[in-house]
Amino acid sequence: DAKTTQPTSMDCAEGRAANLPCNHSTISGNEYVYWYRQIHSQGPQYIIHGLKNNETNEMASLIITEDRKSSTLILPHATLRDTAVYYCIARLNNAGNMLTFGGGTRLMVKP
């Protein structure tokens, strides 16, 4: 799996959009970009994933650059409950391929 680089921490005001960047400059053509988050003491939670096109679901939007070397996870209206560690993962999409969680970005949503 390609290595990903994320800022260690970020702050966001409640109600504003949270934009979390991820660099994956060595990503291969068949590796997907996945985002998970982990709220303190809980198991990780899947957010979204994509290959080339931008993706949106009920939780977030994923913007992948045209060269696929970086991406941004957008939480459109952050709430206090979005305070968590967010992990960006580049991986092949097969069942046996583990999720390799690095350090992630600690997002603090403030009132």
Q: Give me the residues that bind other proteins (CB under 8 A), please.
A: 32, 34, 41-46, 49, 87, 93-96, 98-104
Instruction: Name the minimum Å distance from CB 67 to other proteins.
Output: 23
Structure tokens at 51: 């290959």
For the beta sheet containing 61-64, the strands, ordered from the edge strand earlier in sequence to the opposite edge, are 18-23, 70-75, 61-64, 55-56
Nearer CB in complex with other proteins: 15/102 = 102
Nearer CB in complex with other proteins: 50/78 = 50
Nearer CB in complex with other proteins: 83/87 = 87
| DSSP line for 74-94 | EETT--GGG-EEEEEEEEESS
Instruction: Name the minimum Å distance from CB 22 to other proteins.
Output: 14
| Beta-bridge partners for 110 | 13
Nearer CB in complex with other proteins: 80/99 = 99
Measuring CA to CA, which residue among 19, 31, 5 is closest to residue 72? 19
Instruction: Name the minimum Å distance from CB 24 to other proteins.
Output: 16
- Residue 66 burial class via C-beta count within 10 angstroms: exposed 0-12, middle 13-18, buried 19 and up: exposed
Instruction: Name the minimum Å distance from CB 16 to other proteins.
Output: 27
